[in-house]
Homo-oligomer: A and B are copies of this chain.
C-alpha cells in the first residue's frame, strides 16, 4: 500500500495501540478490584456517583450516565447491582417521582478509599521516568484526536438527519 500520507500509518498504529492499551487497562482495573466486592465497571460507576455531587444532594442514574458518557441503561444495570450489594442506596427523590436519588453508603465509601489507595500505589509504580509534561503532551494529542472524531460523528448525524 503506497503511503502518500506518512501520518496515516502513524495514526493507524496509534489507534491499534490504543485498543491494546484499553484492554490492558481493563485488565488492571480487574486486578485492582480483586478481593473487593466490586468489579472494574462497578468501581467506575461508583466513583462517578461519589464524585458527582459538588452539591449536597446525591444524583440520579441518568445524571451519572451522562457524566460518564454511557447509555442510561448500562449505568442503571450496574447501579442496581451496587444497590443489591449495599454499596449504594436508592433514596426517594422529592423533586422527581421517577428518578430516585443514588447515595453511596459508608460501605461503598470505604471500598472507594481502599481502591484509591491501590490505584495510587499502582500508578506510582507505573509512571516510571516519564515527566508530567511528557504525559500531558500525549494526553493533549489524544484528547484532540478524540474530539475531532466526536465532531465528525456529530456532523455525520446531522447529515443523516438532513438526508
Asked if A123 and B5 make an inter-chain contact with CB atoms under 8 angstroms apart, the answer reads yes
Say whether A85 faces chain B, with CB atoms less than 8 Å apart.
no
Which has the most chain B C-beta neighbours within 10 Å: A10, A12, A19?
A10
User: Are A142 and B138 also in contact (CB < 8 A) when A22-B18, A22-B19 are?
Assistant: yes
Q: 30 interchain pairs (CB within 8 A)?
A: A5-B120, A6-B132, A7-B123, A7-B127, A7-B130, A7-B131, A7-B135, A8-B124, A11-B123, A11-B135, A14-B142, A15-B25, A17-B139, A17-B146, A18-B21, A18-B22, A18-B142, A20-B146, A21-B142, A22-B22, A25-B149, A31-B153, A125-B152, A130-B141, A135-B141, A137-B137, A137-B138, A138-B141, A138-B142, A142-B142
